[in-house]
Amino acid sequence: MKGVAILGATGSIGASARAVLRQHPDRFRAVALTAHRNAGALRELVAELRPSLAVIADAPVPGDLPPGPTEWRSGRQALLDAATHPHADIVINALVGAAGLEPTLAALRAGKRVALANKESLVCGGPLVLEAARRGGGALTPVDSEHSAILQCLSGTRVEDVRRLVLTASGGPFREWPLARIGAVTPADALRHPTWNMGAKVTIDSATLANKALEVIEAHFLFGVGYDRIEAVVHPQSIIHSMVETVDGSVLAQMGFPTMEIPVLYALTYPERLPYDARRYDPVAGGPLTFEAVDTARFPAFALGVQAGRAGGTAPAVFNAANEVAVAEFLAGRCTFPGIAEAISDALDRWPNGPVDTLDDVLAADGWARRATNDFLNQLAPC
Ligand code: NDP
C-alpha cells in the first residue's frame, strides 16, 4: 500500500488521479489532498478519500467542517507540508503554473517520488529540480502523456542510443482556421479542445502550442536529451502520444485513446504495471493516423518557447511567467489570442538572461516577467 499526496486534487489531473485510486484501493491510499481556493470541491474529496491532511493553499479553512480523521490547514506552508507528508510515498504534483516549483523541490528533497504533471516545475527550475532529486534521493516520473509515452518507449534503451524524441501535438482547435480568423478567437473558441478535456490554462496553451514548447523543455530535463534531438509533430487524432527514434533507425511509439488516467497510473507504478479498466484501443475503430509539421507562423508561441529553452538559464522561467499572465488576461477578455505570443516575445526580448543557481534566480525572473507582461498588455488597446 503506497501513500499518495495529490497536490491540485480538485483539478482535471486530480480527477484522473482519483479515478486511478478508486480502481486500486488496495494499492494506493490518499494521505494528503490540496486545492487552491475551491473548498467545496475539496470537502467532497475529503469525504470520499478520508486523507490525513487537507490543504486550501489560498483561502481560509471552512468553519463548518464535519468531524472526521482529516486535519484541515491553509496557506503556503501547509501546501509544502502536504508535499513532504511523512506518510506519502508518492506526491502527484497537479498544480498549475510556476506555483508548482517549490512543492516539487520540497518533495524531492524529502526523498519522495514525484509524479509530475506540473511541467512548469521543470521549465522554470529544471537544474534545481534535478539537483533536488539527486541530493534528496527523490525521483521524478512524468504524468504528461507525451513524456509518459517516451518513458515507456525508452524502456530497455540507453539514452545514448536515442537519435531523437518526437513529441506529438494535437494542433489544438485552430489548426485549420484561416490565419485572419485567429486574430478574433474568443476564450470559448480556445477552450474547445478537439481531443483532450483539461484545465483552462493547459487548454489555452494547447491552442497556442505554448504547451508543446513547455513539453520540449520538460523532455530536455527529464531525459537529458539536447534540444537538437527533440522535435514536435502535429498528430490531430492524439492516438500516438509520442515516439522515440533510436540510432539504428527503429521508431518506437506508445499509443492509446486519449486519457490521462493511464499516464497517471504508470507514474504511480513505474516500472511495474497494474491492470486498469479504461477504453481499449482498437486500431480499426481508431481510424487513420495522420501527421503534419508544426506551422510556426500560425503558432509563434511554440517557436518562442523552444528558443527560450535553447537559451537556457532563466529564459524558460520568463517564457513561462509571461505566458501565464497573458493566458490569464486572454481568459479574462483583456488580451487577444495573438496578443499572448506578442507579450511573450516582448518579455523575452527585454530580459537580460542569467543562470539558474538558486530558487531566488527563478523567482526574480518570474516576478520581473509578470510585471513586464502586465505593463506590455496594459499599453495595448483593449480587445
Ligand atoms: P486544473 O486547473 O484543472 O487544476 C489545478 C489544480 O491546482 C486545482 O486543484 C487548483 O485548485 C490547484 N491550484 C491552481 N493554482 C494553484 C496555486 N497557485 N496554488 C495551489 N494550488 C493551485 O489544472 P490541470 O489539472 O489541467 O493541470 C495541472 C497540471 O498538469 C498543469 O501543469 C498542466 O499543464 C498539467 N497537465 C494537465 C493535463 C490535463 O489533462 N489536465 C495533461 C498534461 C499535463 P482549485 O480547484 O482550488 O482552483
- Please report how the helices 315-331 and 210-223 are oriented relative to each other, as an axis angle in degrees rounded to 10: 150
User: What pLDDT was estimated at residue 380?
Assistant: 78
User: What pLDDT was estimated at residue 118?
Assistant: 98
Kindly report the length of the chain. Answer: 383
Which atom of ligand 1 is the closest one to the Cα of 118?
32
Query: Ligand 1: which of 6, 7, 10, 13 to mutate, judged by most atoms within 8 Å of the beta carbon?
Result: 13
Give the three-state DSSP class for 250.
coil
- Residues having CB closer than 6 A to ligand 1 are 8-14, 35-38, 41, 57, 79, 94-96, 99, 117-120, 144, 196, 198-199, 201-202, 260
Ligand 1 atom 30, closest CA: 117
Ligand 1 atom 26, closest CA: 199
| Of the candidates 293, 319, 128, 134, the residue with the CA atom closest to the CA atom of residue 215 | 319
Query: Ligand 1: which of 198, 205, 214, 216 to mutate, judged by most atoms within 8 Å of the beta carbon?
Result: 198
Torsion-angle region of residue 355: left (phi > 0), alpha (psi -120 to 50) or beta? beta
| Model pTM above 0.95 | yes
Query: Distance, CA 202 to ligand 1 centroid (Å)?
Result: 8
What digits encode the pLDDT tens for the residues 195-235?
A: 888 999 999 999 999 999 999 999 999 999 999 999 999 99
Cell of 331: 481568459
User: What pLDDT was estimated at residue 194?
Assistant: 83
Count helices and strands (H / E) in the chain. Answer: 16, 11
Query: Distance, CA 345 to ligand 1 centroid (Å)?
Result: 25
Helices marked H in 24-70: 39-49
Ligand 1 atom 5, closest CA: 11
Query: Distance, CA 35 to ligand 1 centroid (Å)?
Result: 9
Query: Distance, CA 232 to ligand 1 centroid (Å)?
Result: 24
Query: Distance, CA 121 to ligand 1 centroid (Å)?
Result: 12
Ligand 1 atom 18, closest CA: 99
User: What pLDDT was estimated at residue 382?
Assistant: 57
Query: Distance, CA 10 to ligand 1 centroid (Å)?
Result: 8
User: What pLDDT was estimated at residue 383?
Assistant: 56
What digits encode the pLDDT tens for the residues 126-173?
A: 999 999 999 999 999 999 999 999 999 999 899 999 999 999 999 999
Rounded (10°) CA dihedral 153, 196, 117, 139: -20
Q: What is the pLDDT along the chain (383 residues), one digit of tens a residue?
A: 999 999 999 999 999 999 999 999 999 999 999 999 999 999 999 999 999 999 999 999 999 898 899 999 999 999 999 999 999 999 999 999 999 999 999 999 999 999 999 999 999 999 999 999 999 999 999 999 999 999 999 998 999 999 999 999 999 999 999 988 999 999 999 999 888 889 999 999 999 999 999 999 999 999 999 999 999 999 999 999 999 999 999 999 999 999 999 999 999 999 999 999 999 999 998 899 999 999 998 999 999 999 999 999 999 999 999 999 999 999 999 999 999 999 999 999 999 999 999 999 999 999 999 999 999 999 875 55
Q: What Cα–Cα distance (Å) separates residue 64 from each residue in 8, 14, 39, 40, 237?
A: 22, 24, 11, 11, 46
Which atom of ligand 1 is the closest one to the Cα of 202?
34
Query: Distance, CA 369 to ligand 1 centroid (Å)?
Result: 21
